Amino acid sequence: MAERLQERSEYDPFEAFNDVIAGNVRDPYPKLAERRARTPVWKGSLLEHMAIPGMEEPETWTAFRFEECSHVLRNAKGFSSTGYDSTIGLVMGHMILGMDDPEHRIQRNLVANAFREKSLARWEADLIGPICHELIDRFARHGRAELVRQLTFEFPVRVIARLLGLPEEDFAQFQRWSVELIGLAGDIERALAASESLKRYFAEVVAERRRSPRQDIISDLVTAEIDGEKLTDEAIYSFLLLLLPAGAETTYRSSGNLLFLFLTHPEQLEAVRRDRGLLDQAIEEGLRVEPPLLMIGRTATSEVVLGGETIPAGAGVTTCLGSANHDERRWESPDLFDIFRPPQQHLAFAFGPHMCLGMHLARLETRVVVNAVLDRLPGLRLDPDGDDPHIRGLVFRSPTSVPVLFDS
């Protein structure tokens, strides 16, 4: 198996993914605020550049306010998730993200136990923490680093790979396949090839785990059973194909966003440095003000009135999570990063029955990263000679570089 993973390519998957999927929008929030005020539910899409070549796009509406977005996400009967089968489902198969109940409920119950907060706690000290410190060991003596390339981009995929029980020599190719898979709008042929490579890879691992289960998530999946229901091999492959880019991608963005927000708000960074009890609320505020994913889609199952607009059956409905998280009707001064604001439900992990299954892992990884950075990089600050670091993106958002100095 290891020999197959020595593939190399002339392109940089990090740059290719960011250029195609993230885009170069630096600050979408003023325009999103205009939409909330003028057309809270708008006939149109912000995602034309994400269209898959050759595919006919349905009529699409976009919701911008918290009220309408949360309503769509809660109402799974009125707004179906099955549209994902014809988009990212092309490379991931029929996965939990694109299922409606009762199929969704059954499949989610079978995989959920491995991702509950208490289940994940067993991995923190023995697996997640050591991975983070291994990465920091590479640059801690140098007095400077670029935290995206050297820490936040690599950390989550290593965590996922180890949680799945995969060998370390496979990690680099594993990460490459991950970003190729989710980048199907930029290069669908490359994404389909990555999907087939991952399925072949997982088929061997799943077969081995069925013969000899271990203490890892793939073993949890192959042995999961509720009321006589078990996951088929195809269901496991689709779940792993979804889990891999989710672990490699959105978590790296959310942790990078929080570190960047701290470094550009040093007084709040110092408050957390003095009182680590503030970290959990800081993580939630970072997710609110700069969610890693700004929008997700649903399909109206029947004609419905939303925000005063009549949406026909079969139309696509995009919930703009980034706009909803900045809704001034819910948060005072919503564009400000303020870890001391009163806590309220945000939509960074979506809402309702499809609320992100990996949210506890994402929070845990971010907590581990921030604590390790504060413990091991004293005097942490942005490098003034850095090349204009900033958060960018219209669909996915994160800084593409966080150059820092610290006292070594």
Beta strands in 41-99 (DSSP E): 41-43, 60-63, 79-80
Question: Could you tell me the CA-to-CA distances from 52 to 56, 108, 248, 292 in Å, in that order?
Answer: 9, 28, 22, 21
Q: State how far the Cα of 137 lies from the Cα of 131, in Å rounded to an integer.
A: 10
Best CA proximity match to 381, nearest among 215, 270, 303? 270
Cα 289–chain centre separation:
15
In the chain, the amino acid numbered 34 is E
How much is the average pLDDT of 133-154? 95
| CA dist., res. 104 & res. 117, Å (int) | 20
Q: Is 224 exposed, middle or buried (0-12, 13-18, 19+ CB in 10 A)?
A: middle
Domain ranges, residue 242: 2-405
- How many domains is the chain built from? 1
Lowest mean pLDDT: which of 41-50, 246-255, 301-310?
41-50
Q: What pLDDT sits at residue 109?
A: 87
- Structure token digits, residue 223: 């042995």
Give kind and range of the element (H or E) at residue 206.
helix 188-211
pLDDT digits (tens, 9 = 90+) for 76-131: 999 999 888 777 777 888 888 888 899 989 888 888 887 888 878 888 888 999 99
Taking only the tens place, the pLDDT of each residue in 26-40 is: 999 999 999 999 999
Residue range 254-293, pLDDT digits in tens: 999 999 999 999 999 999 999 999 999 999 999 999 999 9
Separation of alpha carbons 235 and 217, rounded Å? 14
Give the type of residue at 391. Answer: I
Of 11 and 24, more confident: 24
The rounded percent of the chain whose pLDDT value lies above 90 is 56
Report residue 111 as tokens.
Answer: 């995989």
Is 50 exceeded by the pLDDT of residue 8?
no
Cα–Cα dist 232/45, whole Å: 36
Pair 316, 45: CB distance under 8 Å: yes
- State yes or no: pLDDT of 164 exceeds 60: yes
Helix (H) or strand (E) holding 230: strand 229-230
Question: Cα(96)–Cα(82) distance, rounded to whole angstroms?
Answer: 9
- Position 48 confidence tier, pLDDT thresholds 50, 70, 90: low
Domain of residue 280, CATH code: 1.10.630.10
Alpha-carbon dihedral sign for residues 178, 399, 270, 328:
negative
284/56 Cα distance (integer angstroms): 37
Task: Enumerate the β-bridge partners of residue 62.
Answer: 42, 318
- In this prediction, residue 318 carries a pLDDT of 95
Q: Which residues contact 83 (CB under 8 A, 6 or more apart)?
A: 58, 98, 297, 298, 299, 316
At residue 34, the pLDDT reads 95
* Residue that has been written with the tokens 């981009």 in this structure: 153
Residue for token pair 């995989």: 111
Burial class (CB in 10 A: 0-12, 13-18, 19+), 192: middle
Distance CA 219, CA 226 (A): 15
**pTM higher than 0.95, yes or no?**
no
378 — alpha (psi -120 to 50), left (phi > 0) or beta?
beta
Higher pLDDT, 45 or 93: 45
